[in-house]
Amino acid sequence: MYDVIVIGHGVTGAGLEWVLSRYSNATRILGIERRKGAGMVNSNVTNNSQTLHKGDIESNYPLDKALQVKWGADLLGAFVDQNLPHGKLVIPKQLIAVGDEVDELTKRFHQFKPHYPDIQLLDGNGIAELEPLVMEGRDPKQKIASLYSPRGHAVNYHLLAEKFVDLAKASGKEIDIRYNTSVQRIERTAHGFNVHADGVVHSAKFVSVSAGSASLLFAHALGYELDLALLPVAGSFYTNKRVGGLLQGKVYTMQDPKLPFAAVHGDPAVYNTDETRFGPTARPLPLLERDSWRTLAEFLDIGTVTPRGIWSLLKIISDPTIGSFALWNMVFDIPWIGKHAFLRDARKIVPSLGIDDIMLDKGAGGVRGQPISLKTGSIVKGRDRFIPKDAPIAFTLAPSPGASYCLGNAVELARAMVERVPGFQFDEQRLLADLKLDA
Ligand SMILES: Cc1cc2nc3c(=O)[nH]c(=O)nc-3n(C[C@H](O)[C@H](O)[C@H](O)COP(=O)(O)OP(=O)(O)OC[C@H]3O[C@@H](n4cnc5c(N)ncnc54)[C@H](O)[C@@H]3O)c2cc1C
């Protein structure tokens, strides 16, 4: 019998494995991952925006949500500073606002400043000093301001997942990882759960299902979260490969708070600062994983393609903000027109961009599994992890900014395990001390 089984080895599963191997009394941990290595789906380097979200420049987060994200991001920021010398960039970040948005940004700055002491409010001249191309070619009469954060992180979440696994393996505990192995079924037993994976049954006192969107399938199969389904939203990126790069840091634009995703932004790629990425787009896709047709069957099973699911989708897109956002993003897929349409968004960041300056990054981009409520027919925010009170199991979907919150999730799961598994201990104080963070 294992102490813990972790299903899925993106940053969520791998991060939990590291925390448990180093800071808990679990001695036998089994990891099961259906890809050939860790961090190969949404955590893969080109499949996400590589941002360590702290909440300061994400204009769709209110202060309370921003502070919760900040708590997890501070853990991860400290971890990557210590352990990931080649898988990250420490770069500035800006949130730019134009026209009427400037008043909203200014209000946000004053509200957030006490909690994020580093942030500054910049005018056009200040922006031009840091990011000349953001101002070049812009209408000089346009009102503009930015919320500037001098020390942000870009993270290669694929390398991060591998690092977590390497450090867990080096912990001296029994860490058994099975790649190329798929979990088909989980069943409750008297002492925990049995996990059925490619014809072999493994038992554990606690199971963490960290399988991205597929986590909801396992929750449904065990009778949990039956009122939720998923709207998978694929995100693609465009790139520019001009030597020297177009941007020095991450430049975000204002987002409507009704929309669950960060708006289109531009930034240097974490693996090559000569490459500037613009994106992500957001369009519905009937797959749970972008590059895997077998996940079509999983999507069809997740509750969205049911009368209640279709009613929910129709109700969601009947909202004018969400409907027009979805339609605009679908235009990006139309040949020729799509690139021109995207250019309009990218020019909000670099106005002088020409049509030949950007290229679709083929094969890059992932899928965010956005939870939707089958009861109310609405987008559900903040229900992307479920830890039943009555059973030693957890399900983590981690749509976005799940990668930034991977250590936050790991710590909260470890706390939940203390409550659910007799004799389980977790030394959170030592983890914080090692990361040089206050309790
Ligand atoms: C376009 C886009 C941009 C994003 N940008 C950001 C960003 O800038 N910052 C940020 O913090 N987050 C971002 N995100 C979200 C981020 O990518 C995810 O939150 C994060 O990667 C989730 O990690 P994970 O380990 O939960 O999932 P994944 O990395 O998807 O890993 C899940 C793993 O489970 C495995 N698995 C699934 N089913 C099974 C099974 N049955 N058996 C065994 N294994 C299984 C899969 O193979 C996979 O390896 C973005 C996402 C997208 C799509």
Q: What is the pLDDT of residues 205-236, one digit of tens each?
A: 999 999 999 999 999 999 999 999 999 999 99
For residue 330, pLDDT over 80 is answered with yes
pTM above 0.95, yes or no: yes
Distance CA 95, CA 130 (A): 13
Distance CA 412, CA 400 (A): 17
Residues with CB under 6 A from ligand 1: 7-13, 32-35, 40-43, 48-51, 53, 157, 182-183, 210-212, 214, 235, 280, 365-368, 396, 398-404
Sign of CA pseudo-dihedral 323, 314, 401, 62:
positive
Distance (angstroms) between ligand 1 centre and the Cα of 435 equals: 24
Give the model's pLDDT for residue 259: 85
Give how far the C-alpha of residue 248 lies from the chain's centroid of Cα atoms, to the nearest Å: 22
pLDDT digits (tens, 9 = 90+) for 304-328: 999 999 999 999 999 999 999 989 9
Q: Are the C-beta atoms of 369 and 398 separated by less than 8 Å?
A: no
- Mutation probe of ligand 1 site: the residue of 41, 88, 208 with most atoms within 8 A of C-beta: 41
Distance CA 32, CA 10 (A): 11
Give the model's pLDDT for residue 433: 97
Question: Relative to the CA of 40, which ligand 1 atom is closest?
Answer: 49
Task: Identify the residue with better confidence: 383 or 366.
Answer: 366
Distance (angstroms) between ligand 1 centre and the Cα of 222 equals: 22
For residue 177, pLDDT over 80 is answered with yes
pLDDT band at 347 (very low <50, low <70, confident <90, very high): very high
> What domains can be seen in the chain, in order of their start residue?
1-50+156-225+383-439 (3.50.50.60), 231-243+281-378 (no CATH)
Q: What is the DSSP string of 122-178?
A: E-HHHHHHH-HHHHTT--TTS-EEEEEEEEEEEE-HHHHHHHHHHHHHTTSSEEEEE
- Total residue length of the chain: 439
Alpha carbon nearest to ligand 1 atom 20, residue: 403
Give the model's pLDDT for residue 335: 85
Q: Are the C-beta atoms of 188 and 182 separated by less than 8 Å?
A: no
pLDDT digits (tens, 9 = 90+) for 21-34: 999 999 999 999 99
Distance CA 380, CA 152 (A): 28
Distance CA 369, CA 373 (A): 13
The residue among 173, 129, 145 whose CA lies nearest residue 19 is 173
Distance CA 234, CA 85 (A): 30
pLDDT digits (tens, 9 = 90+) for 385-439: 999 999 999 999 998 899 999 999 999 999 999 999 999 999 999 999 999 997 6
